[in-house]
């Protein structure tokens, strides 16, 4: 293996959770340990003026939520970590699902007060489909939450995963005294408003040591001895092989906002987390150790730098070595393309790089050539599979409020829908524009970004459509269908015909009446047909 050394020092993972469990705060603290930032920002705070690094869009700062995945690369103890902070809100779940295709493992953040929530379940399902290794971080121990054993039971039962605690809390809320590390047998003492530093870590190889009583008091010490005895009896040592197969999830306890328990998580993570893994394509499985370069686009972001109107396509390197100014094959459009300024990221801050290795996530300038799911190779004709697309559930008509800014609106809506979060449909034979999304909040974000980034003001009129279906089949039959159903026929960005059904009953009726026409529920039907 040519690039073995580079591959073995890379770890690529995403942080996922229900909104407000503390993903972005944890991301900040991990960056702090990695030396990537000097001061951790806050998501919502009156005292801290610095915003979270990963929430770089204006709308994210206003609302205190992440609306797009941000990519951060940093080094920690000679390991190069590519960290992706994902949006928790279900209206942006698509972005998160696609991000999960580009990582090798995930850290799941669970709020100790609320336990398992709706979005947590959906995200874990996606991880289980792919057998993605998972580490669980139970956050907000400085608040009164659920009893740890009850919490473990709830997580196991609700998410149908097996857990393995590697640290254990001593009380919680106001009584919270610290965390006992089962992995390296040490006690980490918690003091409010104080950073978790080495001085607060006491090695206690033997729990019967009187030092334990001295540090946390007799009652808590006896409770800890009981808990640890029970844990070691039930769980034993961590089976790393089972974790890599995604059948066991290590669990850590801490408080991200107080920087507590984060270092233990990071230290264990770089030891056990998987190196870049192999990826499936429509032809074969691509292994990271191959000499020739391959990679795929999993995300496109418009206006990362508002001053330059740029579009960045995010590429995950799957095998070989990516080099600046080299020509690579774009398999969908069958053209050779080269990139003179590939970037590595720290959210919005970006640095030009000369090379990248498997596991790295890099940004490429996009002039409109890329779509989500595109593959780049060194000449081989293949396509990476498994990148999900979604059928929209909410439809609204786009209305231009300022006719003087028609050009800006056109450009803005084209670029924003390229990001893959919303879909643009244009009336067949007309110019009426309809936007389809999965969540309501998407429309607000689009409206805000059109105004802020493109200076175009618009309004959305709700439409009562049930589903978008892409139609293919016998040309004459399709033409007849289009003629009869003119008001419901749209075109997507690629000129494919789309039928917008008013209700489930209408859709089923049309499918019965037109057996020669195929109704597809995602725009990926072309890939499915080719296989």
Q: Exposed/middle/buried for 160, CB within 10 Å: 0-12, 13-18, 19+?
A: exposed
Residues 189 and 65 reside in one and the same domain: yes
- For residue range 113-127, what is the model confidence (pLDDT) as tens digits? 888 888 788 888 878
The 8-class DSSP code of residue 381 comes to -
Range in 211-215, 263-267, 490-494 the model is least confident about? 211-215
Last residue of a domain, one of 342, 377, 412: 377
Residues 213 and 157 reside in one and the same domain: yes
Q: Whole domain around residue 464: which residue ranges?
A: 394-530
Is residue 403, in this structure, part of any structural domain at all? yes
Residues 325 and 186 reside in one and the same domain: no
Torsion of CA 438, 442, 443, 448, to 10 degrees: -170
Range picked from 187-196, 367-376, 464-473, 518-527 for highest mean pLDDT: 464-473
Does 525 score more than 60 pLDDT? no
From the list 284, 287, 359, 355, the residue with the least C-alpha distance to 317 is: 359
123, 108 Cβ separation under 8 angstroms: yes
- For residue range 73-85, what is the model confidence (pLDDT) as tens digits? 888 888 888 888 7
CATH code, domain with 354 = 3.40.50.300
Does 51 score more than 70 pLDDT? no
Residues 232 and 305 reside in one and the same domain: no
Does 340 score more than 50 pLDDT? yes
What is the distance between the alpha carbons of residues 31 and 8, in angstroms, rounded to a whole number? 21
pLDDT for 396 equals: 93
3-state SS track over 481-503? HHHHCHHHEEECCCCCEEEEECC
Q: Write out the H or E segment, with its range, that includes residue 205.
A: none
End-to-end, the C-alpha distance of the chain in Å comes to 31
Residues 357 and 458 reside in one and the same domain: no
Residues 266 and 283 reside in one and the same domain: no
The 8-class DSSP code of residue 307 comes to T
Residues 134 and 68 reside in one and the same domain: yes
Q: Write out the H or E segment, with its range, that includes residue 431.
A: none
Q: Exposed/middle/buried for 307, CB within 10 Å: 0-12, 13-18, 19+?
A: exposed
Does this model's pTM top 0.95? My answer is: no
What is the distance between the alpha carbons of residues 456 and 387, in angstroms, rounded to a whole number? 32
Structural domain total, the chain = 3
Q: Write out the H or E segment, with its range, that includes residue 339.
A: none
CATH code, domain with 417 = 3.30.70.3280
pLDDT for 397 equals: 92
Is residue 96, in this structure, part of any structural domain at all? no
**Mean pLDDT for all residues in the chain:** 80
The 8-class DSSP code of residue 438 comes to S
């Amino acid at each position: 293996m040519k690039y073995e050394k580079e591959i073995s020092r890379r770890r690529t993972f995403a942080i996922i959770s229900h909104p407000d469990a503390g993903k972005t705060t944890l991301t900040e603290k991990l960056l702090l340990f990695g030396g990537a930032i000097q001061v951790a920002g806050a998501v919502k705070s009156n005292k801290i003026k610095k915003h979270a690094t990963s929430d770089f869009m204006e709308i994210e700062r206003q609302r205190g939520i992440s609306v797009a995945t941000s990519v951060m690369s940093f080094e920690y103890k000679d390991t190069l970590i590519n960290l992706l902070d994902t949006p928790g809100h279900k209206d942006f779940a698509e972005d998160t699902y696609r991000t999960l295709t580009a990582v090798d493992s995930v850290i799941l953040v669970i709020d100790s007060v609320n336990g398992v929530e709706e979005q947590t379940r959906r995200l874990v399902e996606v991880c289980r489909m792919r057998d993605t290794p998972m580490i669980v971080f139970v956050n907000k121990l400085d608040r009164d939450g659920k009893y740890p054993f009850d919490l473990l039971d709830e997580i196991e039962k609700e998410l149908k995963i097996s857990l393995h605690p590697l640290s254990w809390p001593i009380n919680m809320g106001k009584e919270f005294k610290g965390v006992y590390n089962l992995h390296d047998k040490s006690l980490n003492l918690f003091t409010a408003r104080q950073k978790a530093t080495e001085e607060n870590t006491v090695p206690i190889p033997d729990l019967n040591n009187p030092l334990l009583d001295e540090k946390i008091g007799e009652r808590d010490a006896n409770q800890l001895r009981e808990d640890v005895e029970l844990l070691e009896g039930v769980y034993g040592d961590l089976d790393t092989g089972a974790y890599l197969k995604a059948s066991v999830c290590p669990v850590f306890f801490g408080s991200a906002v107080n920087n507590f328990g984060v270092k233990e998580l990071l230290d264990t993570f770089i030891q056990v987390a998987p190196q870049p893994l192999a990826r499936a394509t429509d032809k074969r499985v691509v292994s990271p150790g191959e000499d020739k370069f391959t990679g795929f686009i999993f995300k496109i972001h418009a206006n990362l730098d508002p001053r330059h109107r740029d579009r960045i396509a995010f590429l995950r390197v799957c095998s070989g070595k990516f080099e600046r100014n080299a020509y690579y094959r774009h398999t969908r459009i069958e053209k050779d393309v080269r990139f003179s300024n590939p970037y590595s990221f720290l959210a919005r801050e970006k640095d030009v790089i000369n090379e990248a290795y498997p596991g790295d996530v890099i940004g490429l300038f996009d002039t409109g050539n890329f779509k989500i799911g595109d593959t780049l190779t060194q000449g081989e004709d293949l396509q990476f599979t498994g990148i999900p697309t979604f059928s929209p559930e909410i439809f609204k008509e786009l209305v231009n409020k300022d006719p003087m800014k028609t050009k800006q609106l056109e450009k803005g809506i084209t670029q924003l829908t390229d990001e893959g979060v919303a879909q643009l449909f244009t009336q067949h034979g007309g110019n009426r524009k309809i936007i389809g999304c999965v969540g309501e909040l998407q429309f607000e974000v689009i409206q805000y970004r059109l105004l802020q980034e493109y200076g175009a003001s618009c309004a959305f009129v709700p439409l009562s459509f049930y589903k978008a279906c892409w139609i293919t089949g016998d040309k004459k039959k399709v033409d007849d269908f289009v003629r009869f159903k003119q008001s419901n026929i749209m075109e997507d960005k690629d000129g494919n015909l789309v039928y917008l059904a008013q209700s489930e009953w209408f859709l089923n009726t049309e499918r019965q009446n037109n057996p020669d026409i195929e109704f597809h529920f995602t725009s990926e039907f072309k890939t499915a047909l080719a296989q």
